[in-house]
Structure 1
Amino acid sequence: MAVGFAVELLFIFSIVQARVQAVSSQAVGVVGGVVYLSPLLQTQKTTYHQSHWCYGSSLKVAIHENGSEVQYPNGPFKDRLELFSNNTLKISSLLKNDSNTYRVYLEDVAGKEDTYRISLKVYDVVPKPTVRAIVNGNNPEHCDVTLECRVQLEDVTYEWMPPSRVMPVGSNSTNGTVPLSFNPSLETYTCRASNPVSSSSARLTRRHPCLWTAESSAVPTTTKTSMLMLLGHLLLLFFALH
């Protein structure tokens, strides 16, 4: 009976220890920026005898032993690391290759070691997206169009924001009337490209019925409908002169 109880306690202890070893968190950074990696386990103890940080599973990048200066072994982080007294690791001038899992090993005076993992993901700054309109069909009275928004990055989400079709220009709270202003011949659509650290946007302007202009260029987006309309106007002008 006692043996079974001891085995059960050992099993529970193993689960708890595994959970401690699995303590982790996530962090994000931007290329060229700064990030601080801080082990939350330090709140459980007041003092650690020594500590060291690893990039990945085994590459030591910062080593601190009690009473000695912090050592930064030569490697991909040369002159970019700073380890503070609370075991927080500062990484400057971030690079995309800095994305990885970082492990900090904290040892107390009794030799007991705590481990903490932080997964770092470094993102590029999102540039201004390229937008364009692709018009389908050739009906000048019906604008069937596909709006396209792109940036040359991975891990980016896109959001299209339609124009505000109704623009209040005043109100009268006494009789419940609201004067409105409409401009059906001109609309602006905005695309926003985002990642966890930044976002950027660009606009497409539609002029009635289906002529589109991108914000990044003063030249209207080439469309089948606009070309056909231009050709029609030229033919009418030709017959009028003859």
Structure 2
Amino acid sequence: MCWILVVRGVCLSLLRRMAMWSLLLWEALLPTAVTGTQIQGQVGGSVLLAAERPAGFQVRDAIWRSLWPSEELLATFFQNSSETLYHSRFLGRAQLHSNLSLELRPLESGDSGNFSVLLVDKGGQAQTQTLQLKVYDTVPRPAVQVFIAAARDAQAPKTCQVFLSCWAPNITDVTYSWRREGTIDFGLEPHDLFANGQVLRVSLGPGDKSVAYSCIVSNPISWDLATVTPWESCHREAAPGKTSHKDVLLLVMVPVSLLLILAGLLSAWHCGPCSGKKKKDICADSVAPETENPIV
């Protein structure tokens, strides 16, 4: 009896494999209806790859495969029995539901790719659906830096031109945009944006002391922002680009004055012993032997 059960189990397994390879060969040889769908997912989340069935299409068999970046068998459904234990990169993360949709979780950044499902109805009609999965990282909080532009002679008085630089660390496939807080009209011109929107140039006046700007970083499944008030950086002490002509003059004159004072002190110290009448005679006597010519 046991031998009969074992043989029967082996036969069923062989029949399942033969049916599967027959369906794959059939898919390659016969024309089938193909539809394409794009699906988006988030790292750490889940996604459902839906197998759409036309009205009156009674599914008998189904095969889920990964087509790109590598071709792998993910799940099968034969004779009312499903299997997802194939040694693919989704082993342990794939679940085939009763409606033959395939759920993948938790998603990883390398799960993006193309998938297909082959459906065969009881009348022998085959249908293939293709799906494209794109997995995105969760957008982190961006960092914004404020750079003060050097003042120009033609620049209006009491104005400050700044460059706001925005950056989201360790992430790709993101879009940068800016928003001026507290106004309906953002007032951001395209010519004020640089580096694909990562850098914004703004000109501020005394009336913009409380104006804040937000950098928004987004991808199709998440977004985050950071807000700064750039006027606070315009009048900090020793702010970049705020050196005046008076400061430059002081930087030049102070070292020159110190050199002149030092030279005067050295001169006074050197001539100090020769000052006065008495000291003058002593100095003359000390110098005379050096200047007199010997008598021959």
**CA–CA separation in structure 1 for the residues paired with 2:226 and 2:235:** 17
**CA–CA separation in structure 2 for the residues paired with 1:127 and 1:138:** 34
**CA–CA separation in structure 2 for the residues paired with 1:90 and 1:72:** 14
Q: Which amino acid aligns with 2:77?
A: H
Residue 112 of structure 2 corresponds to residue 99 of structure 1:
yes
- Please list every run of 5 or more consecutive structure 1 residues that lacks an aligned counterpart in the other structure: 1-16, 167-181, 213-219, 236-242
1:143–1:209 contact (8 Å) kept in structure 2: no
**CA–CA separation in structure 1 for the residues paired with 2:32 and 2:178:** 43
Which of 174, 180, 196 is matched with 1:162 structurally?
180
**CA–CA separation in structure 1 for the residues paired with 2:61 and 2:118:** 8
Which of 160, 164, 171 is matched with 1:153 structurally?
171
CA RMSD of aligned residues (A): 2.9
Which of 31, 34, 44 is matched with 2:55 structurally?
44
Quick one: structure 1 residues 211 and 39, their matched pair in 2 at CA, closer, same or farther if it must change by over 3 Å?
farther
Alpha-carbon shift at residue 19 of structure 1 (Å): 8.2
Q: Which amino acid aligns with 1:115?
A: T
Matched position secondary structure for 1:56: strand
Quick one: structure 1 residues 47 and 165, their matched pair in 2 at CA, closer, same or farther if it must change by over 3 Å?
closer
Q: Which has the larger radius of gyration?
A: 2
**CA–CA separation in structure 2 for the residues paired with 1:19 and 1:77:** 27
Quick one: structure 1 residues 103 and 201, their matched pair in 2 at CA, closer, same or farther if it must change by over 3 Å?
same
Q: Deviations over 1:185-212 (max 9, x none)?
A: 2221101100001001001112368259
The residue that corresponds to 2:240 in the other structure is 224
Counterparts of 1:4-23 in structure 2 under 5 Å?
20-21=33-34, 23=35
Q: Which amino acid aligns with 2:174?
A: V
- Please list every run of 5 or more consecutive structure 2 residues that lacks an aligned counterpart in the other structure: 1-29, 185-205, 251-296
**CA–CA separation in structure 2 for the residues paired with 1:156 and 1:99:** 16
Matched position secondary structure for 2:81: coil
The residue that corresponds to 2:136 in the other structure is 123
1:134–1:223 contact (8 Å) kept in structure 2: no
Residue 214 of structure 2 corresponds to residue 190 of structure 1:
yes
**CA–CA separation in structure 1 for the residues paired with 2:243 and 2:89:** 58
**CA–CA separation in structure 2 for the residues paired with 1:77 and 1:209:** 51
Of Structure 1 and Structure 2, the greater strand share is in 1
The residue that corresponds to 1:30 in the other structure is 42
The residue that corresponds to 1:207 in the other structure is 231
Q: Which amino acid aligns with 2:49?
A: L
1:64–1:71 contact (8 Å) kept in structure 2: no
**CA–CA separation in structure 2 for the residues paired with 1:63 and 1:145:** 60
Matched position secondary structure for 1:187: coil
Q: Which runs of 4+ in 1 moved over 4 A?
A: none
Query: What TM-score does the superposition give when structure 2 sets the normalisation length?
Result: 0.57
Q: Deviations over 1:79-130 (max 9, x none)?
A: 1111112111100110111100110000112322100011000000000111
Quick one: structure 1 residues 184 and 135, their matched pair in 2 at CA, closer, same or farther if it must change by over 3 Å?
closer
**CA–CA separation in structure 2 for the residues paired with 1:36 and 1:106:** 17
Which of 140, 145, 158 is matched with 1:141 structurally?
158
Alpha-carbon shift at residue 183 of structure 1 (Å): 6.6
Alpha-carbon shift at residue 228 of structure 1 (Å): 3.6
The residue that corresponds to 1:3 in the other structure is none
The residue that corresponds to 1:217 in the other structure is none
Higher relative contact order structure (alpha carbons within 8 Å, sequence separation ≥ 6): 1
Of Structure 1 and Structure 2, the greater helix share is in 2
